[in-house]
Amino acid sequence: MMAVRLQEIRAKVFDIRHTFESAQPLTFYAYYDYADRVLTYPSSKGLVTAVFNGSSGNCRIVAHSSGTLSAKEEITSRFRLRDDMKKIYRRISTDKFVRAAIKEYYGMRLTRNDPWETTMCFIVSQLNNVKRITMIMHNIINVLGSPIMDDTGVMAGRGFPNCESLANATEKKLMACGAGFRAKYLVQAAEFCTNNIELDKLKCRSYGKIKEQLMEIPGIGDKVADCIALMGYGKLEAFPIDVWIKRTLENMYFNGKPKKIEELHEFAEERFGDLAGYAEQYIYVYGRHMRP
């Protein structure tokens, strides 16, 4: 029996529950036990497990992972624990509404995710709900994912299938996973990425360039491209505008008057600048919480 190497991380202004409930890619394929506070998820290099303890924004994390991966670095990066939340809150607290959202969801972080996984997650998300998105992602992983071994060589789970695997999967197989009309987009996007573009190589590009490239991929439009830029590439200036954000912005800032997506992008950029993505995530969860 091999000794499991545990690593400890301490973080301020971090709430795993708020983060996990905020409908980011992790929500769709990780497993979080609310009673035991244990999070388990497959990453590209192995299976990661972490236990979260703490309250009022102070968090103590004990993590370990299979393979060569450093659990500490993985968790720190995945949950953006190097971000200075106090500073971010100061910057985006432009009004009462955002301040209330921060108070309600204090410690919620944006997460960093693999660009390809994020792409699939948000194609699946269109005209869909979180519960079903989660179900579909799990099905895709179980049917097409590659095995991940634990330290003793036993299969502990499956990792997200790469774009070649999905390009070779049939639309029918993805329909069987519950993807519905999005199955076609998933296969087309996988084929496109296999043949025309290497998503990891976009990491060093600017937000604008990344969004432009992503929108070349079939099944990806303005909103999904911004989600991928934000949560897959960590571009904090991205501001995805879905029906909820649109409705909330119109209600909170425009007296309920309908606005075009383009106008709302300009509004967000001007108001929240290069931290618009954080503002969006707080407005999103709070807007849904306040459901009209």
Q: Name the residues that contact DNA, by CB under 7 A.
A: 22-24, 125-132, 175, 178, 180-181, 184-185, 218-225, 227, 240, 242-245, 280-281, 284, 288
d(CA 105, CA 96): 14
Least Å distance between CB 243 and DNA?
4
Q: Which residue, 12 or 259, has its beta carbon nearer to DNA?
A: 259
Least Å distance between CB 259 and DNA?
12
Whole-angstrom CA distances from 51 to 9, 63, 232, 287 are 10, 6, 24, 29
Classify 41 as helix, strand or coil. Answer: strand
Q: Which residue, 205 or 288, has its beta carbon nearer to DNA?
A: 288
CA angle 40, 44, 49 (to 5 degrees): 20
Q: Which residue, 82 or 172, has its beta carbon nearer to DNA?
A: 172
Least Å distance between CB 166 and DNA?
16
Q: Which residue, 221 or 273, has its beta carbon nearer to DNA?
A: 221
d(CA 208, CA 12): 32
Bridge partners, residue 12, by sequence: 58
Which residues, including other chains, have CB under 8 Å from residue 264's CB and lie 6 or more apart? 241, 245, 246, 249
3-state helix, strand, coil in the chain (%, to 5): 50, 15, 35
Least Å distance between CB 245 and DNA?
6
**Which amino acid type is present at position 272?**
F
Least Å distance between CB 220 and DNA?
5
Q: Which residue, 63 or 238, has its beta carbon nearer to DNA?
A: 238
